[in-house]
Amino acid sequence: MSKSTGNFMTLRECINFYGIDASRIALADAGDSLDDANFDEKVANAAILRLYILEEWIQKHCPRDVDFAAIPVSSAGEWSWDRIMENELTRITAIVNKAYIDMKYKLVIKHGLNELSSLKEAYLIATGGQPNPQILFRYLETLLLLLNPIIPHFCQYQWQKVLVPAL
């Protein structure tokens, strides 16, 4: 049953109206507890917009034709935004992996999509719009790997279109 309208919607109608990946995000966000897990149309609509914006950002800003060997890596004792970003990616990966093991898909969306998006924005602001392409590449790789079970069509398309050519 749809949370916002109170009407019943079949899975086929949901997919036809919102698309597969947006529907899967809304279903994962519906909840994994003992509470009612109703499909929320607002979440599905927001997922469509979020995936569109993410795809636009990936197409516009992700590194292509970059010689990663020529980019300096932060030294071990130096704290930089790059190291902070790497640590946060590692931390979020551990949280999302645990959420998958525990079948807490709402947490996967919370950390794997929402928190990673906030992390990316904070990193871009902190680096003054001059991010390290290696870090952006690792961010995108982490995002696509963590969300592939939830939104496989989006992730696999981006993987083949952006990551594979960059390797």
| Structural domains of the chain ordered from first start | 11-166 (1.10.730.10)
153-163 average pLDDT score? 91
pLDDT > 90: what percent of the chain?
Answer: 55
Q: Is the pLDDT score of 9 beyond 60?
A: yes
Token pair of 152 as six digits: 């496989």
Mind listing the pLDDT tens digit for each residue in 17-55? 999 999 999 989 887 766 666 778 899 999 999 999 999
Amino acid letter, residue 154 = F
Contacts of 28 (CB under 8 A, 6+ apart): 105, 106, 108, 109, 150
Mind listing the pLDDT tens digit for each residue in 117-136? 999 999 999 988 788 888 98
β-sheet bridge partners, residue 2 = 39
CA distance 73 to 134: 9
Contacts of 90 (CB under 8 A, 6+ apart): none
Judge whether 51 and 154 are in contact, CB under 8 Å: yes
Q: Which of 64, 47, 78 is nearest to 147 (CA)?
A: 47
pLDDT classification of 14: cutoffs 50, 70, 90? confident
Question: For residue 31, what pLDDT is reported?
Answer: 73
